[in-house]
Amino acid sequence: MRVTVGITGGSGAIYALALLRLLRQHGVETCLVASAMGAAVMEHECGVTLDELRISCDTFFDNEDLGAAIASGSFRSNGMVIVPCSMKTLAKVAGGISDSLLTRAADVCLKERRCLVLVVRETPYSAIHLENMLRLSRTGAVILPASPAFYNHPQDIADIVRFMAGKIMDQLGIENNVCQRWNGEMRV
């Protein structure tokens, strides 16, 4: 299995780190592309540099390299997740603007009918944000807000982050037991 991970400038870089680690643990080949703001937010929020990110994936692509393999529909992939997905990136993908490798790779997933998961990280949403999300949802993209559950009684931030990473993996069709699933029993 091969998945492309895109990182943009929305807050929530920790979700991308957790996902990359879990994909590796599950034997999933990862291709990584990060916007300049994605790399900057990663370093600010997590203390992880772009060079350190490169070693967390199988293949790293420069966001300016529009001739890279992931820019083509002939590149075999099981899908792509953009985590976190900024509203700027969401708008570009919704509008078909493929002016970077990251947005082109997302566009390829849409045109090839491959799984595209957008982990949006903004609050509150404006009407424009919602319209862009609806537009992408109608094309088959999965809009997955970074909204963790609390029925599992998370003990720390790591539990919350793992829950979201597990939900992302579920959407990509990757079997996992990363997070505690709802069992139908409620404690009262």
Tell me the residue ranges of DSSP E strands in the chain. 2-7, 29-34, 59-61, 79-85, 115-120, 142-143
CATH number (3.40.50.1950, 1.10.1040.10, 1.10.287.1080, 2.60.40.650) of 2-171 reads 3.40.50.1950
pLDDT digits (tens, 9 = 90+) for 63-112: 999 999 999 999 999 999 999 999 999 999 999 999 999 999 999 999 99
Please state whether beta strands 79-85 and 2-7 pair in parallel, antiparallel, or not at all (unpaired).
parallel
Q: Are 122 and 129 in contact (CB under 8 A)?
A: yes
Give the predicted TM-score (pTM) of the model. Answer: 0.95
Q: How confident is the model at residue 187 (pLDDT cuts 50, 70, 90)?
A: low
Residue-level pLDDT at 168: 97
* Best CA proximity match to 102, nearest among 32, 2, 11: 32
Cβ atoms within 10 Å of 135's Cβ, excluding its own: 15
